[in-house]
Structure 1
Amino acid sequence: MNEIHFRLDLNLLRVLVAIYREGQLNRAAAALHITPSAISHALKRLREHFNDPLFERDNRRMRPTVLCEKMLPEMQELLARMTSLVERSQDFQPIRSLRTFRLGIPEAIEAELFPVVYRKLVKLAPNCRFESIAIPHAQLADTLLQRHADLAIDVALPIGSPVQQRPLSQEPFVVLRRDSNKEQLTVNSYLASRHIAVSSRARGTVLEDYLLRELGVERQLAVRVQSYQTAASLCASSNALLTLPERIADRLVTQFPLRKWPVPLPIADTRLQLYWHDAHSADPGLQWLLNKVTAVLSPAIKKP
């Protein structure tokens, strides 16, 4: 393979990754800011080069072939590392940068974390744009690799290399109950009550229930919602209990007729981690963002 051919193939790999990621030729063209005919022409050349159809139509989507599925994970990381290599040689000057930074933050804790982060970052990089997005846990690695998010803030997850992580904060859980109920909260009353769960996921066990199961106990869930704001409103107008991180509880008791109680069981603290992809670790802009978010949030969130 001569040098010219090699360069062309590297450019075409971006097309291959875009089709794989978007699932449609038109959407891949839009993502790369090129015409659909250019995408079709590139796909034809890729098929000839690999001697494989690479994608087959399945209704409205382009489904990857076995060969394509086998190649794509390493190919995506290769392209990400190439991009990072170019970025490494460029200085990041926050005061002049026009870059868009995306932070993956669960909806349940976005109201607590993003305003704090944004107020600090926008002072340091006034021309940058900052966005908060939700990332399903199953898509965390791919989202960070594809730079759909630069970093993510979430609870401790069982995820390893090439996703990197660092501890951000930890704080205890507490319980909120409507203020009119003055009775002492005990283990028996906690387990006999109905509870409100908060999660941005459509299904799956929430963190508090995992921790309670480690103690050999189960609680009775009455309702599941997406935000602590909604949960607090429900808690204030019912007998249901809301178990949540203390910092969030401290804000909610100023907005709703609620009273804060210690959890009457020895459950572990909630821990937040900062996540990013190793392929982009050398990017000066990402390093700046990681350091600033850590500096802002670590002291802002209570620690035991």
Structure 2
Amino acid sequence: MRDICEMNINTFDLNLLRILDVLLREQNVSRAAERLALSQPTVSNALARLRELLDDPLLVRIGRRMQPTPKALALEGPIRSALQQIEQTLNVGESFDPRLSRQTFRIAMTDFVEQLCMPGLLRRLQDRAPNLRLDIAPLAPSLPVDALDRGQLDLVLGRFDEIPARFARHHWRSETLQIALRKEHPLVSGALDLDTFLRLRHLWVHGGQTRGMVDQWLGEQGLARQIVYTTPNYLQAAHLVAASDLCVVLPTQLARHFATLLPLQLHDLPFALEAFELELVHLAQRGQDRALGWLVGEILRVV
């Protein structure tokens, strides 16, 4: 098989790489054409040319979607990185006007971080960048390095244990934890001590993790709580607890928010846990991207 580096770059239409990049993002010819502001036949013809030039089908239809081939997946990251570097080079010295920008940013975060961040950010963007588009994706417990490397994500906002050196990180805020349970709970009428905490039936928001901060601390003390329900959704957890005799440990700001909307009582944990940090992360090589830098600054101002 041939690849791009074996071809004569002088005869290769570099516009095809931009089309391939969007096709790999969308995995759908019609959506790619819409995003590129091209006709569907134009994009289909470009895909046919790419298949011939690269001697590979690149995208194979499976049901209603198109799945990238192994070669397409291998090319995706380098092509996207090269296009980003070209764009950044061309934009050196140019200003970014958020009021005129129609750029789309893809950001991964959990639903609780979305609740903390997005209302304030959307209020800021309404006047400062009215045509900017945000595309929010769910966040796994570990840093999605492949999606960031390939340009499938511009930013991630969350809590991460390890961040490779090729990524830039910005501290956004510190968070603590509180216990939420319904008012008039039969086991809790006053202060909540450790013995009562251990007698409660717990809902755990796992977020894809195998063990959270609370269970790690309990395990170190030779203790365990009774978890009878697990869910990946912070926002649903508060509603479930308000309608049952379960309790849930939530980030403090989220717990306080829901206590104003639902019949919940809140308590501090009956043991000390350190605060955890929420960080904004992106590829360090995109540090010269003025639009991305502007958006990072706006997010950091939302506390």
Specify the alignment match of 1:122 in structure 2: 126
Give the 3 Å change call, closer, same or farther, for CA 273–19 of structure 1 in structure 2.
Answer: same
3-state SS of paired residue (2:249): strand
Residue identity matched to 2:273: I
SS in 1 for 2:91: helix
Q: What's the CA shift string for 1:53-85, capped at 9, x where partnerless?
A: 444444554444443333322122212222233
Q: Secondary structure at the match of 1:88?
A: coil
Offset at 1:278?
Answer: 3.2
TM-score scaled by structure 2? 0.78
**CA 1:278 to 1:257, structure 2 compared with 1: closer, same or farther past 3 Å?**
same
Query: How far apart are the structure 1 equivalents of 2:52 and 2:46?
Result: 10
Identity of aligned residues (%): 27
2-structure distance, mates of 1:250, 1:287: 31
Change (3 A) 1:251 1:291: same
Secondary structure in 1 matching 2:229? strand
Give runs of aligned pairs for residues 24-103 of structure 1, distance below 5 A: 24-101=28-105, 103=107
Q: Which deviations, in whole Å up to 9, do the C-alpha atoms of 1:176-234 show, x marking residues without a partner?
A: 233432243222322221112336x5x55474456446636443223345654543333
Specify the code of the residue in structure 1 equivalent to 2:205. V
Unpaired runs of 5+ residues, structure 1, are: 298-304
Question: What number of residue pairs does the alignment pair up?
Answer: 292
Partner residue of 2:289 out of 278, 283, 295 = 283
- Alpha-carbon separation, structure 2, partners of 1:246 and 1:163: 28
Q: Displacement of 1:275 after TM fit?
A: 1.8
State the alpha-carbon separation in 2 of the partners of residues 122 and 243 from structure 1.
33
CA deviations on 1:141-198 (whole Å, 9 max, x unpaired) are 4555666654332122544354432221112211123343224322232222111233
Aligned equivalent of 2:253: 247
Gaps of 5+ in 2: 1-6
Contact kept? 1:19, 1:25, Cα under 8 Å = yes
Q: Match for 1:234 among 229, 236, 240? A: 240
Query: Match of 1:165, as an amino acid?
Result: R
SS state at 2:72 partner: helix
The one of 270, 276, 301 aligned to 1:295: 301
1:191 aligns with 2:190: no
CA contact (8 A) 2:101 2:132 kept: no
| Alpha-carbon spacing, 1:214–1:134, altered in 2? closer, same or farther (3 Å) | farther
Which is richer in helix?
1
Q: Which moved more, 1:132-141 or 1:240-249?
A: 132-141
